[in-house]
Amino acid sequence: MADMKKTALDTLLNVLKTSGADAWEVADEEEKGWEFYFIRHSLDQHRAKDVRTFNVKVYKKFDDCLGSASASIPSDATEEEMRRAVEGLCSDASYVRNPFYTLNKPCQAETKGQAENIDLEAISGDFIRTLASIPETVTEDLNSYEIYVNKITRHFLNSEGIDVTTVHPSSMVEAVINARKDGHEIELYRMLKAGTCDREQLTRELKETLTYGRDRLITVPTPALDKPDVVFATDPSVELYRFFASKLYASMVYRGMSDWKIGDMVAPENLTMCSVRSLPNSSRNVAYDEEGAPIRDLTLIDHGKAVSYMGGRQFSQYLGMESSFIPSNIEVIGGTESEADLRTGDFLEVVEFSDFQVDSITGDIAGEIRLAYLHQGGKVTPVCGGSVSGSFPELLKTMRFSKESRQYNTMLIPSVTRLQGVTVTGVDNA
Amino acid sequence: MKAPFSSYLNGIAPGLKELIALLRGRYDYVSVLSTDSVGFTVAISQRSKSVSRETIATERGTVVRVYKNGLYAESAFTGFDPANAKETFESITRELDAQLRLMNAAGVKAYETGILPDEPRTIFTEMETGRLPEEESISSMVDKLSAVSDQGMKAGADQGLKLIDFQVRACSTHVCKMFLTEHQDLRQSYTFSEGMTYALVAGEERTDFAYTSLSGRKGPELFDHVEDKIPEVLRIAKDLVSAERIVPGEYDVITAPEVTGLIAHEAFGHGVEMDMFVKGRALGADYIGKRVGSDMVTMHEGALCVEDVTSYAFDDEGTPAGDVTEIDRGILRSGICDALSALRLGVQPTGNGKRESFSHKVYTRMTNTMFDSGTSTLDEMIASIEKGYLLEGMQSGMEDPKHWGIQCILDRGYEIINGKLTGKVVSPLVMTGYVPDLLGSVSMVSTDRESFGSGACGKGHKEWVKVADGGPYLKAKVRLG
């Protein structure tokens, strides 16, 4: 089987080398996965996956332009199918002319800490046992859950001589929590991604969700509030910090979707954001990015000032960056206040939204409140309903964040973030 | 012309039938879904151009479903060799057996389910299309979209808009799927296409974006007149740069067809997906036969209820396409159901078992979700509102089937005062509420209706599939923030 796999890739490489393409990239991607679906704690279905594809991109040079076209070629394609597909791409590429740029060249990455043995059976067993042991009660329990355990192997080659392989685990648990009281039942949803099963982390997350489920049942409708401070301390916080990252992508800047410039103050003056090569148990701890560039530690925002863009080869070169890469993990630091400091006075701490969003172009934030804690005059009241909205770029001026951190898979961010003067539409806003 | 069925799938069919026979020696039920779908995406703007021979639905692979001792299992793979079905058989059984050993060692019990029926059935469908994506001239498509991008920039400048970019995107897919069991042989081939025009515009204080979309169960001919979308997207861009923030509150509103579709999708699309009934996750299960909206609310769901991007002949479990009346004059009549959930609930499947791709699990999913038309004109509806908004443009939505909360993030609201549009625009908008309250407040419905199939739908926050939704203009009362 191994020989057959090598033959298919060799065949494709030969086709590319004789195709007339001026440059090319191939990613031989293989995903082996085990999946388990539970209703309550009974097994609904189990699945195995073994999927392989060749993602190919070919380039044609024209004076000061570069044409390109891409396709996913089935791993069982015949040589004739491969040849036809690549010929088609060469033709397509000649019509798609962008300003010239060069492909990445071989460069050794730091590979320390990369995953070695990825045992789908062992990781699956860890997840199954952990989820079976979540401390449920008569009134709060797991409705259903899905376990996905994947081993992802990516062999990347290009015409400049890059030939690198990354192997990493990528797992996910989707869990639905129920809570009930006096005949009324609600649910909360979690999609938790990680490299492998971290029993403590997973248990902590789900226990916290069970507590939120209990509190959701004793909520009152969110009242009309006059531009309160809003505190974020659960996964919607990620969207706030992802906004900073998205604005620094070279593709966003080049295409006019971000007007952030290097040297500009773009964030609170104590905020520092870095791309980091790895985070504990992240599902994206890989040594090379999708285009074969080494992933490294890089400061993107230094004490509020934008200091570097990031992203793929094409748009990074357009912005004059020669050694960029597509980051996998992000860390945000610099908070000087404690979680407790940020939870003083009157504020609304929203822990559950239907779907909290931060628009990467406008920075508009929006989300329906499913559970929040209203802190007013020393009293704490669980509330639900209504929505949070506003302009994050405007709210940034008053943004405060904690020195303590919390990791959400690929994002290590301040555990508590507080925004001042947020628009909250209460259920009483009639 | 007819979209021809895949010669690759025809070629592997005998090998797959041999695989089914081998697996039937070990399992009580075996089905196979194989896919071979091709297409293209062309995206052209002033700043970058790209061409890919991929879309959200292009794929080639196979998934096998097996059943034994009350439990279903699946194996998804690429690279099937029809001359060596035995090797695939051994690979499948080796992996699934190892999973079962793990389950047994962990003391996990099965959620017992009955066996799927396997009545003899044959379907061979090659649907009509104008052209095929795999035969489309990419050079012509690039030239056309480039011209539209240039025209959009020029027209925007002529109107005094500070356009940063004008993007045009065209995706077209030729879907081929083959579903086989011991007694069934279903093969379908059809095309669908979707596109978008997108204007990035600089306002006084911020950059915003406007878009319009087009979709259909058509080939690349869908884009023959994409330039017709330019005036609309520029009108939206102009409205957005002059928009103000809304004063939060409850308002009488008229929802444009794309917003109506979003409500349909979030309110009683996800809310009546019956795999959620199996898990006790949907309040809708307790409301069959009960009132959930006003008399003016009638809603259909199904691949056959309108022709758009998901109007297929059979779903990913081999169930023929359907048209379900979910709500009839305000009364909830039925949900939609995949085949396994139907077995568990003792109902008939409705043709709504869909996968994100061959390598993903089946869930109950929407196809086309549509409100029925009514008897009012849009002018009559506007004239009936003392203070409120005409809501246009959808960004995203989220449902809570257990609690019937709904969240819709919308693009624009056009102010109506004393029965007339004032010209004032508010943006963006978060529409929230309780579904029965929202549908119960529907008091006028327009005569015309439209479907929109350019988006994708997730189950929770994953499993993205193509869907379409829409309807007429609705007058209702909602909370806006």
Residue from the list B207, B396, B428 with its beta carbon closest to the beta carbon of A355: B396
**Above 90 in pLDDT, residue B165?**
yes
The whole-angstrom separation of Cα A332 and Cα A327 is: 14
pLDDT tens track, chain A, 430 positions: 455 666 999 999 999 999 999 999 999 999 999 999 999 999 999 999 999 999 999 999 998 999 999 999 999 999 999 999 999 999 999 999 999 999 999 999 987 767 778 999 999 999 999 999 999 999 999 999 999 999 999 999 999 999 999 999 999 999 999 999 988 899 999 999 999 999 999 999 999 999 999 999 999 999 989 899 999 999 999 999 999 999 999 999 999 999 999 999 999 999 999 999 999 999 999 999 999 999 999 999 999 999 999 999 999 999 999 889 999 999 999 999 999 999 999 999 999 998 899 999 999 999 989 999 999 999 999 999 889 999 999 999 999 999 999 999 999 999 999 999 999 988 765 5
Best of A6, A34, A45, A56 to mutate (most B CBs within 10 Å, chain B): A45
Per-residue model confidence (pLDDT) at position B361: 98
Of residues B435 and B75, the one with the higher pLDDT is: B75
Q: Is the pTM here over 0.90, yes or no?
A: yes
The nearest CA of chain A is from the CA of B340 a distance in Å of 10
User: Which amino acid belongs to residue B100?
Assistant: L
The nearest CA of chain A is from the CA of B448 a distance in Å of 31
Per-residue model confidence (pLDDT) at position B121: 97
In order of their start, the domains of chain A are 2-209 (3.30.2290.10), 220-430 (no CATH)
The whole-angstrom separation of Cα A329 and Cα A427 is: 38
**Above 90 in pLDDT, residue B34?**
yes
- List all residues 6 or more positions away from B152 whose beta carbon is below 8 Å from its beta carbon: B163, B166, B168, B197, B199, B230, B233, B234
Residue B227 DSSP one-character state = G
* B200 with A257: Cβ contact below 8 A: yes
For chain B, the residue count is 481
* B430 with A368: Cβ contact below 8 A: yes
The whole-angstrom separation of Cα B43 and Cα B171 is: 9
Give the residue extent of every domain in chain B.
7-40+55-126, 133-175+189-241, 249-480
Q: CA-nearest residue of chain B to A217?
A: B403
The whole-angstrom separation of Cα B57 and Cα A88 is: 20
The whole-angstrom separation of Cα A141 and Cα A146 is: 15
The whole-angstrom separation of Cα A251 and Cα A290 is: 15
Residue from the list B81, B92, B109 with its beta carbon closest to the beta carbon of A43: B109
| Contacts B171 to A, Cβ<8 Å | none
Dihedral angle over CA of B101, B105, B109, B110, nearest 10: -10
Calculate the average pLDDT of chain B.
Answer: 96
| Contacts A51 to B, Cβ<8 Å | 61, 76-78, 359
Residue from the list A31, A47, A50 with its beta carbon closest to the beta carbon of B361: A47
Mean pLDDT (whole number) for B10-39: 98
Best of B281, B283, B286, B395 to mutate (most A CBs within 10 Å, chain A): B281
| Contacts A367 to B, Cβ<8 Å | 407, 430
Contact by Cβ (8 Å): A65, A97 = yes
* A92 with B73: Cβ contact below 8 A: no
* A189 with B460: Cβ contact below 8 A: yes
Establish how many alpha carbons lie within 13 A of residue A323's alpha carbon, considering only the half-sphere containing its beta carbon: 9
Best of B56, B80, B109, B111 to mutate (most A CBs within 10 Å, chain A): B111
Mean pLDDT (whole number) for B331-336: 95
